[in-house]
Amino acid sequence: MKKINLFFCFLFFSLYSYGQNIPGNFYVDFGATMWQDDKGLELETQSRSISLAYMYELVLDKNGQFTFNPGVGYTADNLFFKQGKTLVNDGSNTVPVDPNPAHGTRISTRKSKIVGNYLDIPLEFRFRNHPGRNAFRLAIGAKLSMLVDSHTKVKYEDQNGDVRVSKDKGDFNMNFFKAGLVGRIGYGWINFFCYYGLTNTFESGKLLNTDGTAFTGTDRPITIGITVSNF
Protein backbone atom coordinates (compact mmCIF):
# COMPACT_ATOMS: atom_id res chain seq x y z
CA MET A 1 0.00 0.00 0.00
CA LYS A 2 2.96 2.32 0.50
CA LYS A 3 3.48 2.34 -3.28
CA ILE A 4 -0.15 3.40 -3.74
CA ASN A 5 0.29 6.19 -1.19
CA LEU A 6 3.39 7.43 -2.96
CA PHE A 7 1.60 7.25 -6.32
CA PHE A 8 -1.28 9.41 -5.07
CA CYS A 9 1.13 11.92 -3.54
CA PHE A 10 3.17 12.09 -6.74
CA LEU A 11 0.04 12.46 -8.86
CA PHE A 12 -1.36 15.17 -6.60
CA PHE A 13 1.75 17.32 -6.51
CA SER A 14 2.37 16.83 -10.23
CA LEU A 15 -1.12 18.08 -11.00
CA TYR A 16 -0.84 20.80 -8.36
CA SER A 17 2.23 22.22 -10.10
CA TYR A 18 0.18 22.60 -13.27
CA GLY A 19 -2.92 23.78 -11.42
CA GLN A 20 -3.10 27.08 -13.27
CA ASN A 21 -4.03 25.21 -16.45
CA ILE A 22 -6.64 22.92 -14.87
CA PRO A 23 -10.15 24.11 -13.91
CA GLY A 24 -11.07 23.66 -10.26
CA ASN A 25 -8.64 23.19 -7.41
CA PHE A 26 -6.55 20.70 -5.44
CA TYR A 27 -6.41 20.46 -1.68
CA VAL A 28 -4.76 18.57 1.16
CA ASP A 29 -6.52 18.04 4.51
CA PHE A 30 -4.48 17.44 7.67
CA GLY A 31 -6.66 16.60 10.67
CA ALA A 32 -6.85 15.09 14.14
CA THR A 33 -9.36 12.24 14.32
CA MET A 34 -11.46 10.98 17.20
CA TRP A 35 -14.53 8.77 17.60
CA GLN A 36 -17.82 10.23 18.75
CA ASP A 37 -17.62 7.89 21.77
CA ASP A 38 -14.55 5.65 22.19
CA LYS A 39 -15.50 4.26 25.60
CA GLY A 40 -14.27 0.65 25.77
CA LEU A 41 -11.62 1.08 23.06
CA GLU A 42 -9.98 4.46 23.51
CA LEU A 43 -8.00 6.22 20.80
CA GLU A 44 -4.76 8.13 21.30
CA THR A 45 -4.81 11.86 20.62
CA GLN A 46 -2.28 11.31 17.82
CA SER A 47 -4.95 9.57 15.70
CA ARG A 48 -5.08 11.48 12.43
CA SER A 49 -6.31 11.65 8.86
CA ILE A 50 -4.84 13.01 5.65
CA SER A 51 -6.81 13.58 2.44
CA LEU A 52 -5.83 14.59 -1.07
CA ALA A 53 -8.45 15.64 -3.62
CA TYR A 54 -9.17 17.39 -6.89
CA MET A 55 -12.41 19.40 -7.04
CA TYR A 56 -14.00 20.60 -10.28
CA GLU A 57 -15.77 23.95 -10.13
CA LEU A 58 -19.26 24.61 -11.49
CA VAL A 59 -20.27 28.27 -11.10
CA LEU A 60 -23.90 28.69 -10.03
CA ASP A 61 -24.39 32.47 -10.30
CA LYS A 62 -23.31 35.28 -12.61
CA ASN A 63 -21.05 36.87 -9.98
CA GLY A 64 -19.07 33.69 -9.46
CA GLN A 65 -19.69 33.67 -5.71
CA PHE A 66 -21.59 30.38 -5.43
CA THR A 67 -20.18 27.14 -6.85
CA PHE A 68 -20.82 23.41 -6.76
CA ASN A 69 -17.64 21.35 -6.56
CA PRO A 70 -17.66 17.60 -7.22
CA GLY A 71 -14.35 15.76 -7.04
CA VAL A 72 -12.28 12.67 -6.52
CA GLY A 73 -9.75 12.01 -3.78
CA TYR A 74 -7.93 9.71 -1.41
CA THR A 75 -7.93 9.49 2.39
CA ALA A 76 -5.68 7.64 4.84
CA ASP A 77 -7.08 7.27 8.37
CA ASN A 78 -4.55 6.38 11.10
CA LEU A 79 -6.21 5.26 14.35
CA PHE A 80 -3.87 4.76 17.32
CA PHE A 81 -5.09 2.77 20.33
CA LYS A 82 -4.28 3.45 23.96
CA GLN A 83 -2.24 0.92 25.97
CA GLY A 84 -0.64 -0.24 22.73
CA LYS A 85 -3.65 -2.38 21.79
CA THR A 86 -3.76 -3.89 18.32
CA LEU A 87 -6.68 -5.50 16.47
CA VAL A 88 -7.01 -9.09 15.30
CA ASN A 89 -9.79 -10.87 13.42
CA ASP A 90 -10.89 -14.04 15.23
CA GLY A 91 -12.99 -15.20 12.28
CA SER A 92 -16.17 -13.31 13.10
CA ASN A 93 -15.25 -10.35 15.32
CA THR A 94 -12.52 -7.72 15.51
CA VAL A 95 -10.80 -8.11 18.88
CA PRO A 96 -8.41 -5.66 20.60
CA VAL A 97 -5.46 -7.50 22.14
CA ASP A 98 -2.18 -6.75 23.86
CA PRO A 99 0.50 -7.48 21.21
CA ASN A 100 3.21 -8.34 23.73
CA PRO A 101 2.21 -11.85 24.89
CA ALA A 102 1.82 -13.10 21.33
CA HIS A 103 5.49 -12.41 20.55
CA GLY A 104 8.08 -13.74 22.95
CA THR A 105 10.73 -11.29 21.75
CA ARG A 106 8.47 -8.25 22.03
CA ILE A 107 9.01 -6.46 25.33
CA SER A 108 7.92 -2.85 24.78
CA THR A 109 5.23 -1.57 22.42
CA ARG A 110 5.94 1.98 21.24
CA LYS A 111 2.81 2.55 19.17
CA SER A 112 0.00 0.58 17.58
CA LYS A 113 -2.48 1.64 14.93
CA ILE A 114 -4.88 0.53 12.24
CA VAL A 115 -4.78 2.25 8.86
CA GLY A 116 -7.75 2.54 6.52
CA ASN A 117 -7.17 3.80 2.97
CA TYR A 118 -10.15 5.11 1.01
CA LEU A 119 -11.08 6.38 -2.44
CA ASP A 120 -13.30 9.44 -2.03
CA ILE A 121 -16.01 11.32 -3.89
CA PRO A 122 -16.24 14.76 -2.24
CA LEU A 123 -19.23 16.99 -3.08
CA GLU A 124 -19.32 20.59 -1.83
CA PHE A 125 -21.37 23.77 -2.21
CA ARG A 126 -19.10 26.79 -1.78
CA PHE A 127 -19.42 30.52 -1.24
CA ARG A 128 -16.72 33.18 -1.71
CA ASN A 129 -17.11 36.92 -1.37
CA HIS A 130 -15.47 37.37 -4.76
CA PRO A 131 -13.72 35.17 -7.37
CA GLY A 132 -9.97 34.85 -7.00
CA ARG A 133 -7.54 33.43 -4.49
CA ASN A 134 -7.59 36.18 -1.86
CA ALA A 135 -11.20 35.72 -0.80
CA PHE A 136 -13.18 34.63 2.24
CA ARG A 137 -14.56 31.12 1.70
CA LEU A 138 -17.26 28.97 3.20
CA ALA A 139 -18.23 25.45 2.13
CA ILE A 140 -20.62 22.69 3.17
CA GLY A 141 -20.95 19.26 1.64
CA ALA A 142 -20.41 15.55 1.98
CA LYS A 143 -17.77 12.94 1.27
CA LEU A 144 -18.49 9.38 0.15
CA SER A 145 -15.66 6.87 0.54
CA MET A 146 -14.83 3.29 -0.39
CA LEU A 147 -12.28 1.22 1.54
CA VAL A 148 -9.46 -0.02 -0.71
CA ASP A 149 -6.93 -1.26 1.86
CA SER A 150 -6.48 -1.69 5.61
CA HIS A 151 -3.79 -3.03 7.91
CA THR A 152 -2.55 -2.89 11.48
CA LYS A 153 0.95 -1.73 12.36
CA VAL A 154 2.80 -2.24 15.64
CA LYS A 155 6.14 -0.61 16.43
CA TYR A 156 7.97 -2.27 19.30
CA GLU A 157 11.33 -2.81 20.95
CA ASP A 158 12.55 -6.40 21.28
CA GLN A 159 14.58 -7.96 24.10
CA ASN A 160 17.81 -6.86 22.42
CA GLY A 161 16.73 -3.22 22.34
CA ASP A 162 16.16 -3.22 18.58
CA VAL A 163 13.14 -1.35 17.21
CA ARG A 164 10.99 -3.46 14.91
CA VAL A 165 7.72 -3.06 13.01
CA SER A 166 5.04 -5.70 12.55
CA LYS A 167 2.21 -5.37 9.97
CA ASP A 168 -0.93 -7.44 9.49
CA LYS A 169 -3.06 -6.85 6.41
CA GLY A 170 -6.82 -7.53 6.36
CA ASP A 171 -10.20 -5.80 6.39
CA PHE A 172 -10.72 -6.27 10.19
CA ASN A 173 -14.49 -5.91 9.61
CA MET A 174 -14.08 -2.25 8.65
CA ASN A 175 -17.06 -0.84 6.78
CA PHE A 176 -16.55 -0.95 3.02
CA PHE A 177 -18.45 2.32 2.53
CA LYS A 178 -18.00 5.48 4.59
CA ALA A 179 -19.95 8.73 4.44
CA GLY A 180 -19.76 12.02 6.29
CA LEU A 181 -20.57 15.73 6.27
CA VAL A 182 -17.87 18.33 5.60
CA GLY A 183 -17.65 22.01 6.50
CA ARG A 184 -14.89 24.50 5.65
CA ILE A 185 -14.14 28.13 6.43
CA GLY A 186 -11.09 30.22 5.66
CA TYR A 187 -9.33 32.87 3.62
CA GLY A 188 -7.10 32.45 0.59
CA TRP A 189 -5.17 29.24 0.38
CA ILE A 190 -5.61 28.13 4.01
CA ASN A 191 -8.87 26.93 5.55
CA PHE A 192 -10.14 25.05 8.58
CA PHE A 193 -12.37 22.01 8.12
CA CYS A 194 -14.49 19.56 10.08
CA TYR A 195 -15.57 16.09 8.93
CA TYR A 196 -18.48 14.50 10.81
CA GLY A 197 -18.92 10.79 10.11
CA LEU A 198 -22.40 9.44 9.42
CA THR A 199 -21.32 5.79 9.29
CA ASN A 200 -19.38 3.59 11.72
CA THR A 201 -15.74 2.79 11.09
CA PHE A 202 -16.41 -0.91 11.73
CA GLU A 203 -19.34 -3.14 10.83
CA SER A 204 -22.12 -3.09 13.40
CA GLY A 205 -21.67 -5.68 16.14
CA LYS A 206 -18.26 -6.82 14.88
CA LEU A 207 -16.00 -4.70 17.10
CA LEU A 208 -15.31 -5.72 20.71
CA ASN A 209 -14.20 -3.74 23.75
CA THR A 210 -10.86 -4.37 25.42
CA ASP A 211 -12.67 -6.60 27.97
CA GLY A 212 -14.07 -8.84 25.22
CA THR A 213 -17.64 -7.56 25.39
CA ALA A 214 -19.46 -5.93 22.49
CA PHE A 215 -18.27 -2.38 21.74
CA THR A 216 -20.94 -0.03 23.07
CA GLY A 217 -19.38 3.26 21.99
CA THR A 218 -19.85 5.10 18.71
CA ASP A 219 -17.00 4.60 16.24
CA ARG A 220 -18.19 7.29 13.84
CA PRO A 221 -15.20 9.55 13.17
CA ILE A 222 -14.87 13.28 13.72
CA THR A 223 -11.87 14.96 12.10
CA ILE A 224 -10.88 18.59 12.65
CA GLY A 225 -7.92 20.23 10.95
CA ILE A 226 -6.41 22.47 8.30
CA THR A 227 -6.89 22.51 4.54
CA VAL A 228 -4.13 23.72 2.23
CA SER A 229 -5.41 24.50 -1.26
CA ASN A 230 -4.57 26.25 -4.51
CA PHE A 231 -8.02 27.91 -4.60
The pLDDT tens digits of the residues spanning 85-135 come to 889 888 789 988 887 655 455 567 778 899 999 999 999 999 988 887 788
Measure the CA–CA gap between 221 and 76, rounded to whole angstroms: 13
Measure the CA–CA gap between 85 and 219, rounded to whole angstroms: 16
2-229: what CATH class? mainly beta
Predicted structure pTM score: 0.86
Cβ neighbour number for residue 104 with a 10 Å cutoff: 9
The pLDDT tens digits of the residues spanning 186-231 come to 988 789 999 999 999 999 989 998 888 889 899 999 999 999 887 5
The full set of domain ranges for the chain reads: 2-229
Measure the CA–CA gap between 63 and 129, rounded to whole angstroms: 9
